[in-house]
Amino acid sequence: MKQTRHSFLKSQGYTSINLKKTGTNHYQIKAILNDIEGLFILDTGASNTCADLTQTEKFKLISEKSKIKASSATALMQETKISKKNKLQVGKWNSKSCSVVLFDMNHINTALNERKIQKVDGIIGADTLKKGKAIIDYEKNRLYLKL
């Protein structure tokens, strides 16, 4: 009997998380940051996991000034803050010491709103994906993270 990709990854200690594909071909994913659920974009091109600066209180983020400058395809570089030692949970996978870069995501959410796509609280970036030994199954719209 042929083993599926899903069953093979499960046998290797991975957990599976469904991804929601948006009209902009981004993936949205629910995650829990400091015990609070939020909606995030999964972005393999983002170096860091980020949260919208306006969501600092919602996610109980204690921040300090950061030397990191945030930029994207839609906005120029801007000042950021950083919040260290946060709890992040994606599906059954979790990290008890996650750093989160905070910046104004208004330009991202405005662009999403113009396409009638739900606004997001943040971005799950490459730092988290690397830590979770992520595998993305684009055919099945699933993210696998190693437990």
Residue 9 pLDDT more than 80? yes
The answer to whether residues 25 and 112 touch, using CB atoms and an 8 Å cutoff, is: no
pLDDT in tens, 86-133: 999 999 999 999 999 999 999 899 999 999 999 999 999 999 999 999
> Mean per-residue pLDDT for 24-35?
95
What pLDDT does 11 receive? 94
Q: Which residues contact 87 (CB under 8 A, 6 or more apart)?
A: 32, 33, 34, 35, 94, 95, 96, 98
What pLDDT does 1 receive? 67
CA distance 59 to 1: 46
User: 67: how many CB neighbours lie within 10 A of its CB?
Assistant: 7
pLDDT in tens, 39-95: 999 999 999 999 999 999 999 999 887 766 555 545 555 678 999 999 999 999 999
**Helix and strand element counts for the chain (H, E):** 3, 13
Side by side, the strands of the sheet bearing 142-146 are: 14-18, 142-146, 135-137
* 3-state percent helix, strand, coil for the chain, nearest multiple of 5: 15, 45, 40
Count the domains in the chain: 1
CA distance 112 to 74: 12
The answer to whether residues 126 and 47 touch, using CB atoms and an 8 Å cutoff, is: yes
Look up the pTM and report it. Answer: 0.88
What pLDDT does 96 receive? 92
What pLDDT does 65 receive? 79
Residue numbers of the domain that contains 37 = 5-146
What pLDDT does 97 receive? 93
Instruction: Please indicate whether residue 68 or residue 25 has the higher confidence score (pLDDT).
Output: 25
What pLDDT does 63 receive? 87
Assign residue 118 the CATH number of its domain. Answer: 2.40.70.10
Query: Alpha helix (H) ranges present in the chain?
Result: 5-11, 106-114, 126-131
What pLDDT does 2 receive? 78
What pLDDT does 89 receive? 98
CA distance 143 to 91: 10
